Amino acid sequence: MTVDDTTSGAGAQPPSEPSVHATPHHEVDHTAEPTDDPLAIRLEQLILGADRRYTPFQAARTAGVSMDLASRFWRAMGFADIGQAKALTEADVLALRRLAGLVEAGLLSEPMAIQVARSTGQTTARLAEWQIDSFLEGLTEPPEPGMTRTEVTYPLIELLLPELQEFLVYVWRRQLAAATGRVVQAADDEEMVDRRLAVGFADLVGFTRLTRRLEEEELGELVEAFETTSADLVAAHGGRLIKTLGDEVLFAADDAGTAAEIALRLIEAMTQDEIMPALRVGIAFGTVTTRMGDVFGTTVNLASRLTSIAPKDAVLVDGAFAEELTRTGDAPASEAQAAEEAAVAEKERQEGVEPVALPKYRYGLQPMWQRPVRGLGVVEPWLLARRTTS
């Protein structure tokens, strides 16, 4: 869609084909004409369930919204401008009407509606690209000699579409329920946006060198294995995978103990895989701003810096994270304290006194040398390890 300041007022009779250069915004034409490929059109009709009927202007007018708002919705969802080609369907009109209706009803502000469109578009775009890549590579080998992959695509999508749609809605509802539960458990309203979380980065060491040494297919398999293992471990132990960046994953957890367990299990899993390079993890604990499923702020930056200075196959944490582990009883304040507690318990046993049960510390913390970290001042990192004894 192209931006146009035309609105659909009552009784207005706008021209049927407005100029795409109606405002200074269109000194350069960034439109993208839809494809005329017959198979592509058939697939589009199958997936969208409707034929092309409207130009962007006609769709906006039919939905009862301004071209300006319709264009911003369209772009926010990640679609290219299409000029005034007749390429939109009833589904596009209905989507515009629904979003605009939420704004008119006061349920969403206009900026929030745009954000809903953008976050949904970005998330589903990646999902759709992955699904098509996977299906076309793995499931569309021609069953008969002489058949092309494109000839297999239509019946495959025809079979998969309803099942994938139901599954997508199911997963979305599950994720929405989990996210809503986390929000309502927040201590106050401010925590709904700015929350105290443990944030960790896990980074493959020497990945740049690997890209020069491995074939593209081997590199792709390695990255996929890393992302899959990381995603499974983060989810299984109560964390949330924020995003993957090829050789790096960003995860978050509501408490330090959960994040510590995830980090150490990631290290353990990668060291057991002979194909995987070394891994390093950095974690920080503190206030984090959440937007569109991502996390921002000083805590996130600190976790990233800690990752960059962490030794191979090791986890570095910041002072706030170490304090939180100590506060919750997951780690002793020091190894000297743990040794003293053990000595007192042993002495009581020898004297025939029933000793107080020792704390079952899961993790140990070793202070490292203080060092300046660019943009964050002097930081005292701690080396996190799993304790084998209480």
Q: What is the pTM of this model?
A: 0.65
| Distance from chain centroid for Cα 129 | 15
CB-CB contact of 295 with 287 (8 Å): no
Query: 194 and 49 in one domain?
Result: no
Evaluate whether residue 223 is within a structural domain.
yes
DSSP 126-148: HHHHHHHHHHHHHT---SSTT--
DSSP 194-241: EEEEEEEEEEETTHHHHHHHS-HHHHHHHHHHHHHHHHHHHHHTT-EE
Last residue of a domain, one of 105, 138, 171: 138
pLDDT (tens digit, 0 to 9) for every residue of the chain, 390 residues total? 443 333 333 333 333 333 333 333 333 334 455 666 777 788 888 888 888 889 999 999 999 999 988 988 888 888 888 888 888 999 899 999 999 999 999 998 988 888 888 888 888 888 888 777 776 665 555 566 666 766 777 787 888 888 888 999 998 899 888 878 766 765 555 545 568 899 999 999 988 787 777 777 778 888 888 988 999 999 999 899 998 887 899 999 999 999 999 999 999 999 998 888 899 999 999 999 887 778 899 999 999 999 999 999 999 999 999 999 999 989 888 777 766 776 666 666 666 666 656 668 899 999 998 888 777 888 889 999 998 754
Query: 265 and 370 in one domain?
Result: yes
Evaluate whether residue 167 is within a structural domain.
no
Evaluate whether residue 59 is within a structural domain.
yes
Domain count, the chain: 2
Query: 332 and 214 in one domain?
Result: yes
CATH of the domain at 210: 3.30.70.1230
Q: Give the domain range for residue 85.
A: 24-138
Query: 216 and 117 in one domain?
Result: no
| Distance from chain centroid for Cα 262 | 17
Evaluate whether residue 175 is within a structural domain.
no
Query: 343 and 252 in one domain?
Result: yes
